Amino acid sequence: MTKEVTANNRSLRVENLSKSFGGVKALEGVSFEVKPGTIHAIIGPNGAGKTTLLNCISGQYKPEGSIRYGDIELTDVVPHKRIGLGIARSFQHINVFTGQTVLENMMVGGHHRLRGGLLAQSLFWGRWGAQEEENRLYQQALDLLEKLGMEKLAHLPAGELSYGKQKKVEIGRALMARPQLLLLDEPMAGMARGEKQELADWITLLNRDEGLTILMIEHDMGIVQALAGESVVLDFGRKIAEGPPSEVVNDPRVRKAYIGEA
């Protein structure tokens, strides 16, 4: 497991994935593939297991079945090392470090790229210190904030920003890790229309210009159809359809799951 990020050519293959909580089967035998460089949507009604699926990929849950990223079996990789493979995420409920400034949030996001352990990094100065690397990280964080149009907010506590801005901080934090696969859990939920459009444009840009693979949960079908080339539909923990969003919305099983239409 190296920290070097290689060219983005790894596909994510979820095979026969199951996860139960007590007697509740949150996921049951789900399989699909996310091709490198694509935007892939996970859709489905509330309680379908979408977030559970994302949590299995990011390592928060330990599922049965297999998740292969390139030729690596992800279920064998401890959660905190998955970012080293290039997998970063944002959360459904805002999960910024509230007491820390926006800039500090960003710097923690880039943390895994620093050499040395926590002990070496506690020495801010001196030969073994991480001063130079930290300065670089600081600069990268500022650059990214500028890209996000948030450089003026750099020194404000992240917890005091608006909902939409906090969501952006969270995604920015994930990007600081220089991921190749970005997992987004309802990135646009609770955003105003203008903010949504801005974020959508931005996701397109990340995908097109930086070749970032994006796997996102999103309820707004308009957004999904505009952004995603592929999608997988879950209902009660099972996959009920997959394919381009414009096709799956017309799938009778999907219509039934969403609006009870026969």
- Contacts with another protein by CB under 8 A lie at 58-60, 79-84, 88-89, 91, 93, 95-100, 104-105, 107-109, 111-112, 114, 117-119, 121-124, 130, 134, 170, 173-174, 176-177
Closer CB to another protein, residue 17 or residue 158?
A: 158
89/68 Cα distance (integer angstroms): 17
Residue 113 three-state SS: helix
DSSP letter at 116 equals S
CA distance to 48, 191, 226, 259, per residue, from 254 (Å): 12, 25, 18, 9
Minimum gap (Å) between residue 57 Cβ and another protein: 11
Minimum gap (Å) between residue 218 Cβ and another protein: 19
Minimum gap (Å) between residue 199 Cβ and another protein: 19
Closer CB to another protein, residue 172 or residue 237?
A: 172
Closer CB to another protein, residue 47 or residue 243?
A: 47
DSSP letter at 93 equals S
Minimum gap (Å) between residue 91 Cβ and another protein: 7
Closer CB to another protein, residue 165 or residue 173?
A: 173
- Cβ atoms of 172 and 144 within 8 Å: the answer is yes
Minimum gap (Å) between residue 19 Cβ and another protein: 16
Closer CB to another protein, residue 96 or residue 153?
A: 96
Closest C-alpha to 230, from 139, 198, 238, 218: 218
> Quick one: angle between helices 163-175 and 131-147, nearest 10?
130
